[in-house]
Structure 1
């Protein structure tokens, strides 16, 4: 992919792209929002959607004032930062820290479709670092970019509703969700195989509430029990057994909230043959019995 000629800090096509959307928060409103307890943590200042963005590109030798999220849902492009040039195709996500020199642009023969955000706030840099740590650099890859693109679309809709505290907070919430999704599901290489932890998690989710022993789970993914346990704790914060219990408890809450099944039936549906043991486990995790949980006041 050849890099097109790009004017510094300017779109290569000034008139824009057919079907594009772009929202910019007035800087005075952004400054006020940064003093708010919610939007001060994460604030979207600019957001947009550029479909089939032929000749699109940016070059910022001094970086941008905000952090950038670029999500490619079609076509191809490239990004250059830190002395390295990265190809970007469908599912590619670029996260660029503020004040870091960079350039990016669409491929000439197959221009990308891009969803993007500029964001700032006290928690913004930490989210960017977390994504870089997970991916090993500024470019990560999603097997399905649609959920993140949908969240960026929600940000655009929120900002399009007017520059109010409510709309900026809605935009911040959707942006946080999008960035968290990138951190949690982004991968180092496009089309790369699932990691052992990802394969183990997919198996546990597919077979829940049936219990899989740690030994069997480790054998499935080609690791020792100690290796798999260490990776689970590193990536999920819990052991494989604790993760299985979390899945069972999540299913139990769904049944207690959404059905009239007796507690003994809920226990069986979540993989516990002994209702008393199920109740003790539930109390351990929720500080109340299943019956008390079901009777708790619920919001509307």
Structure 2
């Protein structure tokens, strides 16, 4: 037995080009288990009150859920879930699109650990409330606002999973990115193995440590080109590249324009 309401959306092709489409949402008091099923889209279920369980995958792995918690459901993965005792209050949403696949690749949605206990449920609940309001609004921007709320939900839930120690590691990489250190040296100074550093950076930065450091160097080079009078060679040295020709080739390859062209585009005349 279910008590509640639901709304479904049919985004236009143009709205789908935004990369993430919300297909619907609802709020209900769930009294009975959801029977085994397979979805064609991603879903999120926020358990606001109560406790129960989620079962998923070929192995039928089962985990207990206690509110406040959120769990992700994945397309093509057989699952079932339900409350224990008198039922639970839940808010749910369906969504899909290439941006969702990217979030999954970045580790924001985990197929192996889909249940996220919420130490602070406010961000997830606020995002869900905005999503529900958009779905019930029936106005021209409803699909776009609902998609935006799903983005906010994913980011808010990820904040619950983030390890603050990871933040310290990434902060040290940013601070020391322009030093002539190898990835192994960065790992040693962080007190990690190279493989552990790779896991941290992949989880939070979505790339390898080498790529992460290069992105920081390029970002700082852009700032110096736009805001200083340093020569291109001096900018290259400031960000860890002593060979100006190599720096210019690297900058051009990664940004699509030469350092001098970037400076001409971004630098503004200075007023005395």
TM over 0.5: yes
Q: Tell whether the 8 Å contact from 2:220 to 2:239 is kept in structure 1 after alignment.
A: no
Q: How does 1:1-300 map to 2 (within 5 A)?
A: 7=1, 10-11=2-3, 24-25=7-8, 30=10, 33=11, 36-39=13-16, 42-47=20-25, 59-63=33-37, 67-71=42-46, 77-82=51-56, 83=60, 84-90=62-68, 92-97=69-74, 100-105=78-83, 116-121=91-96, 126=101, 134=110, 136-140=112-116, 148-149=124-125, 151-164=127-140, 166-176=141-151, 178-179=153-154, 187=161, 194=165, 200-205=169-174, 207-211=175-179, 212-225=181-194, 227-228=195-196, 231=199, 235=203, 238-253=207-222, 260-264=227-231, 267=235, 271-272=239-240, 276=244, 279-296=248-265
More strand by share: 2
Q: Residues 127 and 76 from structure 1, CA distance in 2 versus in 1: closer, same or farther, beyond 3 angstroms?
A: farther
Give the deviation of 1:200 after TM superposition.
Answer: 3.5
Note the residue ranges of structure 2 that are not aligned, 5 or more in a row: 267-272
Give the CA RMSD over aligned residues: 4.9
Give the deviation of 1:263 after TM superposition.
Answer: 4.5
SS in 2 for 1:249: helix
Q: Residues 275 and 47 from structure 1, CA distance in 2 versus in 1: closer, same or farther, beyond 3 angstroms?
A: farther
Aligned residues: 253
CA displacement 1:14-65 (0-9 Å, x = unmatched): 6xxxxxxx7623xxx53xx3x6254387432333679xxxx76562114486
Note the residue ranges of structure 1 that are not aligned, 5 or more in a row: 1-6, 15-21
Q: TM-score, normalised by structure 2?
A: 0.62
Q: Tell whether the 8 Å contact from 1:93 to 1:141 is kept in structure 2 after alignment.
A: yes
More helix by share: 2
Stretch moving more, 240-249 or 118-127: 118-127
